[in-house]
Structure 1
Amino acid sequence: MLPSDMPRLSQGAVVLRAFEDRDVALVQSVADDPLIPLITTVPSSGTRDDALAYIARQHDRLTTGAGYSFAIADLATDRAVGSIGLWLRDVDEGRASTGYWVAPDFRRRGYVATALQALTSWALSLDGIDRVQLYVEPWNEGSWRAAESCAYQREGLLRSWQKIGDERKDMYMYSVLRPKH
């Protein structure tokens, strides 16, 4: 059985925690990012009300069974720098998926790789999840290098896999499997 409460996970200099209203500034800071609002539900408006609605949607993910949406925060300051989720659409098949983003001011500092390692270790410790997968655009070298540093293996290129904005995009598929005993 999957946890019904939002866990707080920490690893290295990162903590994964529930989004809080004080994270509004982070959400607002990525509203004009050229990619984040296209591939997530982050609002492009940048208004406080829309950012608060985004945070409320993140809490709803757990209550609806869609998954766990975490703020990635710096362990020392508890300041949110990004988001990572564990999505459960295919959990009946033993599969979960993940996705993440980090605000531009906090990129290239190891937050994604550390957050992904914490999330992956936790996910594979849960009964019923044998595989965690993620999709990365081929140009996004930072993202796929983070995945590879966490033992995710590239399984192939999915051509025209996902619509982003008005265009269909290719995606690399990565996965990590529960270790066999």
Structure 2
Amino acid sequence: MNVDPGRPIQLVLPLLAGRNVTLRSFRSDDAPMIQEASEDDLIPTITSVPTDNSEEAALAFIERQHERLHTRTGYSFAIADENYVAVGQIGLWLEHENHGRASVGYWIRPSARKRGYAADAIFALVGWARSLQQLHRLELYVEPWNEGSWRAAERAGFEREGLLRSWRQVGGVHRDMFVYSLITK
């Protein structure tokens, strides 16, 4: 196979298994899960989930997740439960890949929270990310009040490094964020 050195290698989304979840590509039948997430008070504010809960908006979101591979933005997975039904989303974002870093972001639909899906998805993603030679550090950012999210990160092995004051604009307001990291190598 001849590889053009000036052309980036296409990313491929793997299928990843956790204990109770599977990380897989988004499918059109995941639209109802996106529609539920769009009605959450926070998810559309801090993610690219649309505030419009129409099926068309949900399908457009799904298409954007597939495009992330083509643009090398990162890997966007649907988090599926033991019945292969989508319960959330997790991503490995490559904005700082050239510095050996990637960030992790995740959310769980409101009706599926408090079942350990987030921590299991983070474990599965981290296990796979360790195989990516270009990465040595994973980061994630969580608002201090979001105890469920930062506890899931800690259960998955991330360590809190500190508080970033006024770090990110959320809903038009600059918010503090805890920064977490996990060294992969």
> What's the TM-score once normalised by structure 2's chain length?
0.94
1:147 is the counterpart of 2:153: yes
- Evaluate the alpha carbon distance shift between residue 154 and residue 3 of structure 1 in structure 2; reply closer, same or farther with a 3 A threshold: farther
Match of 1:168 in 2: 174
1:57 is the counterpart of 2:64: yes
Match of 1:88 in 2: 94
Hey, what's the Cα distance between the residues in 2 that align with 1:91 and 1:78?
Answer: 30
State the identity %: 51
Match of 1:16 in 2: 23
- Equivalent position amino acid for 2:183 in 1: L
1:102 aligns with one of 101, 105, 108: 108
Hey, what's the Cα distance between the residues in 2 that align with 1:3 and 1:9?
Answer: 18
Instruction: Report if aligned partners of 2:87, 2:112 keep a CA contact under 8 Å in 1.
Output: yes
Q: Structure 1 unaligned segments of length 5 or more: list them.
A: none
2:32 aligns with one of 16, 19, 25: 25
Hey, what's the Cα distance between the residues in 2 that align with 1:5 and 1:178?
Answer: 20
Count of residues in correspondence between the two structures:
178
Q: Structure 1 residue 2: deviation in Å?
A: 7.4
Q: Structure 1 residue 3: deviation in Å?
A: 6.9
Instruction: Report if aligned partners of 2:10, 2:70 keep a CA contact under 8 Å in 1.
Output: no
SS state at 2:45 partner: helix
Instruction: Report if aligned partners of 2:141, 2:180 keep a CA contact under 8 Å in 1.
Output: yes
Match of 2:123 in 1: 117
Q: Moved runs in structure 1, 4+ residues, more than 4 A?
A: none
Instruction: Report if aligned partners of 2:35, 2:53 keep a CA contact under 8 Å in 1.
Output: yes
SS state at 2:95 partner: coil
- Equivalent position amino acid for 1:4 in 2: L
Instruction: Report if aligned partners of 1:2, 1:127 keep a CA contact under 8 Å in 2.
Output: no
- Tell me how large the CA RMSD over aligned residues is: 1.2
Q: Structure 2 unaligned segments of length 5 or more: list them.
A: 1-7
Hey, what's the Cα distance between the residues in 1 that align with 2:103 and 2:140?
Answer: 6
1:71 is the counterpart of 2:78: yes
